[in-house]
């Protein structure tokens, strides 16, 4: 289907507006996320406890999307659901500034992830409608690059605040500013394209295609072997490999790599498809041995490899779903995908946290095995996916 120049300009403007929403939101929660590991270490938690809290938060964030995605498809209240999700971001992150116990910290971390679960599918449906006009890989890549700008600025801000006070609480409080701006940018996006997000009802109900579920399984295997930054940040703090204020700086660098990788891989995905994801997974597996076995230089390189891995996933995983699932089912599809992804991420994170306290070599081997298996599964899926999209 061809689109006019005006359609492409309008879709591009809308993608940029949603990119601004994610830019400010990422300033907030990625800024906070850069310090969660060291913050929990300061509260006296073990590696297994940090992995459990971070992993459980990610599981809630992803698994709830299965239900919020279905809710979005059923009600088509994409803007309202997204707005409520971003509002929780505004409440929970600054609240960490007043926390002195691990229990309350865990509650607020999970609350923020709940907000992400609410806004994710609804926003992705709105975004995917616009990316159909400019190209799914390109559109999601542009959006990914913009939100990573915020993901760089947020941790830099946290690093500055921690350097001043050697405490993470003031930084969490200041992050309420960009959280408010994210909500304001969402209202701007709605003003730019208020009539979007209301697809026609399907005739009759259509099940999600079999290849989608195979794609979900492959993504879950990838999540199972992909470690979370709070565990690596904990490792840096616990071993005193880096100073506390340096850890958010490293995370900011990783977010810059995520944005660049997402932008490049998004364009490549439109041309070459799923092999881009396969190559990306294989290329970023070095983060495991470098991060946990490689010392200070290896740790810095590992953070960059980890960011590249996230960038590849950000530009390609959602794009693949948008290619094989119709607009009317995308809320459910994004929800189901993120739900399974989050459960597998949680289980893998807990296992890696337990392995950290027993054997770093075992932790690295565990992650490498499952990331290799994921790459092989995606490679096998290249033909079924091509058959559906062509």
pLDDT in tens, 196-245: 555 445 445 567 778 888 888 999 999 999 888 888 888 998 888 998 88
Sign, CA torsion 100/101/102/107: negative
| Element (DSSP H or E) covering residue 368 | helix 360-380
In angstroms, the CA 171 to CA 94 distance is 8
**Averaged pLDDT for residues 297-309:** 91
pLDDT band at 328 (very low <50, low <70, confident <90, very high): low
In percent, the amount of the chain with pLDDT more than 90 equals 12
User: Higher confidence at residue 349 or residue 7?
Assistant: 349
pLDDT in tens, 167-184: 777 888 888 888 889 888
Cβ neighbours, 10 Å, residue 326:
13
**Averaged pLDDT for residues 141-159:** 81
Write down the pLDDT at residue 201.
Answer: 52
Beta-carbon contacts of 325 under 8 Å, excluding residues fewer than 6 positions away, are 208, 209, 212, 333
Write down the pLDDT at residue 167.
Answer: 77
Q: Which of 33, 243, 263 is nearest to 157 (CA)?
A: 33
Which of 252-261, 303-312, 351-360 has the weakest average pLDDT?
Answer: 252-261
pLDDT tops 90 at residue 333? no
Let me know: does 294 contact 279? Beta carbons within 8 Å.
no
Residue in this structure with the two tokens 């006296």, named with its chain if needed: 44
Write down the pLDDT at residue 206.
Answer: 63
SS (H, E, C) 250-284: HHHHHHHHHHHHHHHHHHHHHHHCCHHHHHHHHHH
Average pLDDT over the chain reads: 82
- Tallying the residues shown for the chain, one arrives at 390
* DSSP characters over 94-162: HHGGG--SHHHHHHHHHHHHHHHHHHHHHHHHHHHHHHHHH-HHHHHHHHHHHHHHHHHHHHHHHHHHH
Let me know: does 161 contact 170? Beta carbons within 8 Å.
yes
Rounded to the nearest 10 degrees, how much is the dihedral formed by the CA atoms of 45, 47, 49, 55? 130
- The domains located in the chain, with CATH, are 5-196+206-389 (1.20.1250.20)
Beta-carbon contacts of 304 under 8 Å, excluding residues fewer than 6 positions away, are 253, 254, 257
pLDDT in tens, 47-103: 788 878 877 877 777 778 778 877 877 888 888 888 888 888 778 888 888 888 888
């Amino acid at each position: 289907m061809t689109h006019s120049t005006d359609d492409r300009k309008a879709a591009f403007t809308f993608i940029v507006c949603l990119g601004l929403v994610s830019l400010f939101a990422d300033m907030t929660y990625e800024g906070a996320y850069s310090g969660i590991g060291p913050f929990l270490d300061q509260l006296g938690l073990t590696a297994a406890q940090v992995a459990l809290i971070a992993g459980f938060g990610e599981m809630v964030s992803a698994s709830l999307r299965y239900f919020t995605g279905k809710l979005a498809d059923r009600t088509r209240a994409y803007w309202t659901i997204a707005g409520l999700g971003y509002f929780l971001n505004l409440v929970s992150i600054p609240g960490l500034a007043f926390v002195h116990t691990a229990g309350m910290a865990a509650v607020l971390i999970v609350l923020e992830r709940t907000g992400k679960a609410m806004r994710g599918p609804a926003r992705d449906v709105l975004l995917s409608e616009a990316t159909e006009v400019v190209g799914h890989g390109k559109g999601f890549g542009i959006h990914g690059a913009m939100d990573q700008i915020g993901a760089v600025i947020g941790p830099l801000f946290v690093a500055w605040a921690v350097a001043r006070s050697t405490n993470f609480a003031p930084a969490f409080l200041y992050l309420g500013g960009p959280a408010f701006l994210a909500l304001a940018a969402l209202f701007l996006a709605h003003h730019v394209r208020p009539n979007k997000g209301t697809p026609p009802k399907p005739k009759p109900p259509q099940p999600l295609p079999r290849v989608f579920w195979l794609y979900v399984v492959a993504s879950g295997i990838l999540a199972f072997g992909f470690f979370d930054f709070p565990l690596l940040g904990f490792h840096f703090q616990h071993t005193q490999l880096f100073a506390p204020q340096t850890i958010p700086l490293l995370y900011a660098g990783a977010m810059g790599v995520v944005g660049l990788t997402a932008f490049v891989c998004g364009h490549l995905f439109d041309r070459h498809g799923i092999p881009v994801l396969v190559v990306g997974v294989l290329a970023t597996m070095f983060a495991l041995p470098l991060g946990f076995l490689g010392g200070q230089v290896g740790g810095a390189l590992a953070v960059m490899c980890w960011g590249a891995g996230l960038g590849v996933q950000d530009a390609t995983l959602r794009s693949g779903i948008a290619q094989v699932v119709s607009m009317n089912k995308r809320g459910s599809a994004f929800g189901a995908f993120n739900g399974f992804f989050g459960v597998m991420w949680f289980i893998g994170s807990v296992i890696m946290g337990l392995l950290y306290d027993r054997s770093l070599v075992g932790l690295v081997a565990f992650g490498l095995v499952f990331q290799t298996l994921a790459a092989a599964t995606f490679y096998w899926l290249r033909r079924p996916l091509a058959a559906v999209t062509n």
